[in-house]
Structure 1
Amino acid sequence: MLIKKTPSRVLLIDDDSLAAELIRHMLGDAADISLRYVSDARQAQAAAAEFKPTVVLVDLMMPLIDGFRLIRQFRAEAETEDIPIILLSSEDGPEQKVQGFAEGANDYLVKWPNKLELAARVRYHSSAYLAHRERDDAFVSLHESQAALLERTRQLEESQAALHHAQKMEAVGKLTGGVAHDFNNVLQIIGGNLQLLKYDTADNEAAQRRIAAASQGVARGARLAAQLLAFGRRQPLQPTVIHIGALLRSMDDMLRRAVGSGVEIELAVPQDAWNTLVDASQLENVILNLAINARDAMGEKGRLRIEVANVTLDQQEAAALGLDNSEFLSLSVIDNGEGMPPEVVERAFEPFFTTKPNGQGTGLGLSMAYGFIKQTGGHIEIDSVPGAGTTIRALLPKACGPLREPQPMVIRPMTGGRERILVVEDEPDVRVATAELLSSLGYQVLQAENAHVALTLLEGGEKVDLIFTDVVMPGPLNSVELAQRAQVLLPGVQVLFTSGYTENGIVHKGRLDPGVSLLRKPYSEESLARKIRQLLCGDSDVKESGGSAE
């Protein structure tokens, strides 16, 4: 997916005028990028206040004020603390990079990069910065509008505030879902090429260590994107009928390790507790996050109670909560911690909102729980009093179908094959990396940049055993239509969908369509290989292991 070219203003701070001429030449073909040059680092912040840059390029080695110190100065001022900073240096050592990022740099370039790469990085950081500013301005405008509206219609204050909050959460959910989609595509490009690079540097131990570290970063990014999708109610769920008592008992050891020995855990599950229809793995994540939040609120010492009850709402109560049904399973996580004041409770479900110190939380745990419960068709609320603890109560829909016993996961060695696979992906870097991964596994690979091109290949007589297609692609033909028409042309052909963000294509009402196979981006070589073998061999016991799909 191409990055939209928004006007970028670049402030270059470098004591070497030749560097300014070189940067000006490298960006000369970019009509959307304007450049301001400052040779004296002492004048940098004054120039930034006047020029209003969207990206700052800072040389590392300068007299009087070096790049590290200048970054600290920028981060210390409110007007410049969020401006993206790219550190330029002739040094390629990890020490300089680590310190640069620690001081607050957003990127690090070794002199001199390819001009296309420089322009691309400038546009990327500038677009992200402008998008964040637009989001912040939108929030400010939103809150101002809310205050004016509540003043004019005081008699409807409570109902309008609730409606406004729901609309805001929906708007932010859509925004975070879109961001997560682009983020997952970027992670897939990075992760795929790291896996290929791992083979190319097999005898280089230092390179292998760095690739492993970078791969861990990709995994962390994937978890963050998954949390964003959960809040935005854009994750494909696979709900099954479960008994929550059995799920809680299976989580007992994990919960006790997570909260520590100083927290006493009580489970209260009645024998007649109803079954519920939920995605069990996502519900486990929610319960674990709520338990960890409770532990932090209690200072790692206290009493945590998880309570389950059957709840029947009358029609008015259900309508007030925006619920279609009346019978629910209530799941409450109760702690005797410090509690929350009303102003914190009001914002607790907002993404990235946290009262924890920097570095001790992402602010996504409660927002993920909110999105998941809402997508499941339930409701979640907080009851908290400062000094008296907190109760977080979720309502989960009652299940009418039979209980499904969990199936054991069978993990098998990663293997390849010799079948023909058609890779359909509009993002060129993702498509090429995926094709190379599949080729390294022994498969014969065809590539198509969209569903229309893929169908043309098939109608022209190309025979394939499996189609691996992105869900969200431009063009007159979508991926679902491609799958349907391909299965007419090639009866028995397998179709594996992939996406970092699925909406209305293969997911309806938040649930993955029956019979659809999905591998979520960013996927690893291992999860890709196993999922493909599962489909090609018709082996339902082969499950995805690790990766972002779980």
Structure 2
Amino acid sequence: MTDAAAPEDGAAPLRILLLEDSDLDTELLTAVLEDAGLAVAIERVITRGAFAAATARRCHDIILADYVLPTFDGMGALATARENCPEVPFVFVSGTLGEDVAVEALKHGATDYVTKQRLDRLPRVILRALAEARAHLRRRAAEQALRDLNESLEQRVAVRTRELAEANAALQHQIAERERIEDALHQAQRLEAVGQLTSGVAHDFNNLLTVIAGNIEFLERAVSDDRSKRRLDMMRGAADRGARLTAQLLAFSRRQKLAPVPVQLNQTVASMRDLLQSSMGGSIRIEMTLQPDLWPALVDATQIELIILNLAINARDAMAVGGCLTIETANLRLEAEPARPEEPNPGDYAMVAVSDTGTGIAPDVLARVFEPFFTTKEVGKGSGLGLAQVYGFVKQSGGGVRIDTVPGEGTSVRVYLPRVAADVAPPAPRPVAIDCARLRHASDKRVVLVVDDDSAVRDITTTRLGEAGYAIREAGSGLAAIQALETDPCVDLAVLDFAMPGMNGAEVAAVIRSRWPAIQILFVTGYADHTAIARIDGGGEDRVVQKPFRGEDLERKVASMLEPRPRLALVSGGAEAPARTAGPVRG
């Protein structure tokens, strides 16, 4: 046997399924295999059913089949074997198998054939068939292993690709986070540098103003002629405006003096509805969404009112054709670190948001809105200190501010104020009676507050009223006037320009009527909505002076409103306002 090796000694016998109807041929075939040294275990079958059952068990190493059978032929047996056990070698052993039939059998899946006249070839054919079957099985196993390897390789590649994608995404996130932190750091450093600069400028400027205001006071004692006094009044008004400017700079640099107390923001917002409605005008609808059981906020009560009013006026200016102003309060527990320096740190906050449906803020503008003196409004329409003041106030109060905006859709400014640590009930606002008459001498001049954004017009007004014998104080805007009255409410008459940027005269009058009702109000205007003026305490033509002034119309109406002189006892509805007998108005 040269074509295939014989089984090793001690190996299991070859399991042969023999399809043969001749007993003699069966004995002869068995003897040939035994003479060749092959250990065999032969299962002999004759009928179609027995052969089909045996092949279905798939327990044989090789099938030997005669071609001519009593009930069916060898080709039928071959078909049955290929169907039931296709991996088992099939060898025809027949005495009548011609060459043509043998070729046809090989085409249909037979492994080999041996004629019964040449049974001496049978052992070698069996061993070769078994070797080929084993090689075929090993090849199939290798092919399957290769397929499995390819599949596992694809899976490993997919897993590795996913891991690399996740690592890349994490790296990109880290890079983006680092860039965000660097941008926030740069902005914080820039704002801090500007804050230190403005703080230093404000400090030095206040020192200069102190010298100027003090010397004005000394000169007033030594000067007797009216013209010089009028000039000193103008100088004092300029010093007052400088003081208000430094106050805003100190607010941005977080150096202003605050008096934080527990405040119920819901009550603050609700009490401002009438003021806000008069400030917004009829084309803007005001909605309030106030959260029940709102946490008390630790904040300066007066300053938060000015902050809300400031944000509402900014929102109104962004809604030139009308819209909706929404004021919302909420309890918020923040856990995320701030993305920008103006945003709050993690913690518990009482939040108040002022939202509008206006033009929104462009991204390049949004990056600079908290910088002092930065404004997109026309010259004379804004100082650029409004949001800077908000920024400084909330940061000094321990909170933060966040702006969400979509150009063309609107803006929401959220102010986060620190929650009162303990459940301390905020004190109810107690009106403080201020008896201005007791603080004055009978010979003191009547005090008139002139509010006009046009410095040239304001100079004319203050000069005429100063020459008429009144003590003059002045303010260049509605907010400045309110801040002035917070400092010193002992004013007999407020002369208000109607058309001013920010708060107009009617809006300023509404605040004065609600907080300092004893102060008389006179409007000066070149063009005014008399309907709006009439709503202010039923004011009519006797409370309006038309620009340009005709004759002594201004002085006459001021005199008619201030004579006879009543005894003033002002009531301040918010925090206690200190009473003063003299000195400039501080904005």
Provide the TM-score with structure 1 as the length reference: 0.47
Provide the TM-score with structure 2 as the length reference: 0.44
